[in-house]
Amino acid sequence: MAIRRIDPSSYLSRAVLHGNTVYLAGLTADDLSQDVAGQTQQILTKIDRYLNEAGTDKSKLLSAHIWLRDISTFDEMNRVWESWIDGGNPPARATVEARLAGDRYLIEIMVTAALD
């Protein structure tokens, strides 16, 4: 079974397709001056782009892992998530507080989706 990699670098691929599944790397925002809602929206836009490139969309999400620098921003993040997610097809999801790669990163999201 073939493996296809999207945006590979020397240490990670932004997405990996294998079988009927696409695995996205943990994604972060580019504009770190924004609050958690703004960073969440940027990441969800990236997720849409990578899922589209892989040949699927958010209605096929299987799982999502969300890391927040500060769990007190959960409601702010979740409002953006709920307005974006396909409400009829929500993925299994976990959200935790975690130290992220830098102080200005407020959120990181990783998803897995079906291709059919």
For 39-89, how does the pLDDT look when each residue is reduced to its tens digit (9 = 90+)? Answer: 999 999 999 999 999 999 999 999 999 999 999 999 999 999 999 999 999
CATH at residue 110:
3.30.1330.40
pLDDT at residue 25 greater than cutoff 90: yes
Q: Give the residue with greater pLDDT, 116 vs 111.
A: 111
Please tell me what DSSP assigns to residue 55. T
| Residue 4: per-residue pLDDT | 96
Secondary structure of residue 63 in the 3-state scheme: strand
Extract the tokens encoding 25: 């790397």
Q: For the chain, what is the mean pLDDT? A: 97
pLDDT band at 1 (very low <50, low <70, confident <90, very high): confident
| Residue 71: per-residue pLDDT | 98
Rounded distance, CA 50 to CA 23, Å?
A: 10
Number of domains in the chain: 1
Contacts of 68 (CB under 8 A, 6+ apart): 36, 74, 77, 95, 96, 97, 98, 106, 107
Q: Which of 112, 104, 91, 114 is nearest to 28 (CA)?
A: 104
Domain assignment of residue 88, given as a range: 3-114
